[in-house]
Structure 1
């Protein structure tokens, strides 16, 4: 079940598995092959919270932060995001989420 989207990329809730895992797929690729990022919707809601914190702290508050220039996002943003997810949402697949972000 598609529960949301970001820039056309669907967030998919898999109601056929226990816990209702959540994934994100890249649109425009011919078929949806989700990055399964969270085992439950409750775990999934930590992703945008941690992403926002890492983005604001490492990117917008950093030198030369330009919210419209995604190519200049520093590696520190992803490093902080991975650390936040480890601490706050250990069940989330941070590797899959970071791989999705690099698409």
Structure 2
């Protein structure tokens, strides 16, 4: 279990420290007790955070280190960019947390078990100031 996490809409988003990064790649880059390399995982991808096993990925071959999000269990890895740089990703997480914990006090679900439209609008407004439109849309998809 990672040492660092932040509240997310359902459970915690686990952020991996430098010491945890190697182990955090298990199940993505590595498989089994011998930690065999999975050929379907790009060598330039490093999992830096995860929610429900869905990874946030740093592309370490790119100078700006963009951050991507992928869903596990889809049969193949398809990652969508959620931030143009790692620094921007951290700013987006801070904005998200200010909406989740500040404006909504974690009360983001309606009586039907759906995310409140007002919450989604507030998050979108907050992250749109920091992200290009396509990245903002991908970040919002990562929430649902």
Could you state the TM-score of these two structures normalised by the residue count of structure 1? 0.76
| Aligned equivalent of 1:16 | 61
* CA shift for structure 1 position 66: 6.8
* Cα separation, partners in 2 of 1:41 and 1:49, compared to 1, 3 Å: same
CA distance in 2 between partners of 1:51 and 1:70 (Å): 23
Contact between 2:64 and 2:85, CA under 8 Å: does it hold in 1? yes
Cα RMSD between the aligned structures?
A: 2.5
Tell me which of 71, 74, 92 is aligned to 2:113: 71
| Aligned equivalent of 1:86 | 128
Cα displacement string for residues 39-80 of structure 1 (whole angstroms, at most 9, x for unaligned residues): 1100011222222222232363xxxx377x893321111111
* CA shift for structure 1 position 10: 0.9
Query: Is 1:45 the equivalent of 2:90?
Result: yes
CA distance in 1 between partners of 2:131 and 2:67 (Å): 15
| Aligned equivalent of 1:26 | 71
Contact between 1:3 and 1:10, CA under 8 Å: does it hold in 2? yes
- Greater relative contact order: 1 or 2 (C-alpha under 8 angstroms, separation 6 or more)? 1
Report which of the two has the higher share of helix: 1
CA distance in 2 between partners of 1:42 and 1:75 (Å): 28
Query: Is 1:100 the equivalent of 2:142?
Result: yes
* Cα separation, partners in 2 of 1:66 and 1:12, compared to 1, 3 Å: closer
Report which of the two has the higher share of strand: 2
What 5-or-longer segments of structure 1 have no aligned partner?
A: none
What 5-or-longer segments of structure 2 have no aligned partner?
A: 1-45
CA distance in 1 between partners of 2:79 and 2:57 (Å): 8
